[in-house]
Amino acid sequence: MSAGLAVTLALVLLVLITVAKGVRLVSQGEEWVVERLGKYHVTLRPGLNIIIPFLDTVAYKLVTKDIILDVQEQEVITRDNAVILTNAIAFVKVTDPVKAVYGVTDFSEAIRNLIMTTLRSIVGEMELDEALSSRDKIKARLRESIADEAVDWGLTVKSVEIQDIKPSLSMQGAMELQAAAERERKAAVTKAEGAKQAAILEAEARLEAARRDADAQVMLAEASAESIRRVSSAIGQEAGPMMYLLGEKYIAALETLGQSDNAKLVVLPADLQDSLRGVLGKTGARP
């Protein structure tokens, strides 16, 4: 009786183990890869699934939700031999579990290394300034470059974001020195340009002053010539008016000379009487 009970309990236990191994509940957001005798057999979808115990084995359990892959920071050399530090983050999704487990050993590590290699290649084609200011361009090229490889591994690259891209510490020091030198150069250029403009304006001012002085001299000469013509026209051939004008100017000059503070001695010309006769309009002989 005890032997029969033991057999019955053994059979029940065997049935329970068989059911436990044959019934699989797959959670939402996961897919399981089943192998039969070491060979791929079927992919279990979310929900209740039945497999043959002892023949079928769940070899891989894959997450079909978006996977976040952090790409570590690395040094990248630009086309102009500048060293920059950059890292990224990728969002991928398993769309074909069979390719993901049989197409590559570790798809997460494969995608991570592919992003690092492609990123070095893309940045290596750019100048330093272009690399630092073209984050969106780098991101677009990076995603486009790894998309085909990801499909072969049963993955879809949802997005690749450049987290940080910056010069290395040594490069930052060099850039600061370059920026300081550039500021000094611009200051020197500005100063030289200002001096040049000042010199040009000063020369133009001298030229304008000289031109106006010449115009003034011409106008004075023309005025003098016109005055002489009018005087000549007024007096005609008579000597009396001419002598009167000359005498008047002569006396005015003597008066000015006599009123000067520096004048200690006034010299009268020998022909003063003749000059006075011209002023009085007397051209005759001396009395």
Domain membership of residue 231 (yes or no) is: no
Domain membership of residue 185 (yes or no) is: no
- Is the same domain home to 28 and 113? no
Tens of pLDDT, residues 35-78: 998 899 999 999 999 888 888 889 999 999 999 999 888 888 88
Tens of pLDDT, residues 168-197: 776 666 666 777 788 788 888 888 888 888
Domain membership of residue 232 (yes or no) is: no
- Is the same domain home to 81 and 149? yes
- Is the same domain home to 34 and 76? no
167, 202, 221 - which closes a domain: 167
Per the structure, the complete domain to which residue 41 belongs is given by 12-63
Tens of pLDDT, residues 202-211: 888 888 888 8
Kindly report whether the global pTM for this prediction surpasses the value 0.85.
no
8 Å CB contact between 83 and 128? no
pLDDT of 253 strictly over 90 = no
Burial (CB count within 10 angstroms: exposed 0-12, middle 13-18, buried 19+), residue 177? exposed
Written as six digits, the tokens of 78 are 């630009």
- Is the same domain home to 126 and 43? no
Comparing 48-62, 117-131, 139-153, 236-250, the range with the smallest average pLDDT is 236-250
- Is the same domain home to 155 and 82? yes
8 Å CB contact between 30 and 67? no
CATH code of the domain covering residue 124: 3.30.479.30
- Is the same domain home to 50 and 131? no
In sequence order, the 6+-apart residues with CB closer than 8 A to the CB of 243 are 277, 278, 279, 281, 283
In sequence order, the 6+-apart residues with CB closer than 8 A to the CB of 38 are none
In 30-165, which ranges are continuous DSSP H helix? 97-102, 107-124, 128-133, 135-152
145, 167, 189 - which closes a domain: 167
- Is the same domain home to 54 and 122? no
Q: How many domains does the chain have?
A: 3
- Residue 240: in which H helix or E strand, if any? helix 240-259
- Is the same domain home to 41 and 74? no
Burial (CB count within 10 angstroms: exposed 0-12, middle 13-18, buried 19+), residue 150? buried
Domain membership of residue 256 (yes or no) is: yes
As a whole number, the mean pLDDT across the chain is 81
Q: Which residue has the higher pLDDT, 285 or 148?
A: 148
Name the pLDDT band for 284 (thresholds 50, 70, 90).
very low
- Is the same domain home to 94 and 57? no
pLDDT of 287 strictly over 50 = no
AA letter at 141: R
Give the chain's end-to-end CA distance (angstroms, integer): 195
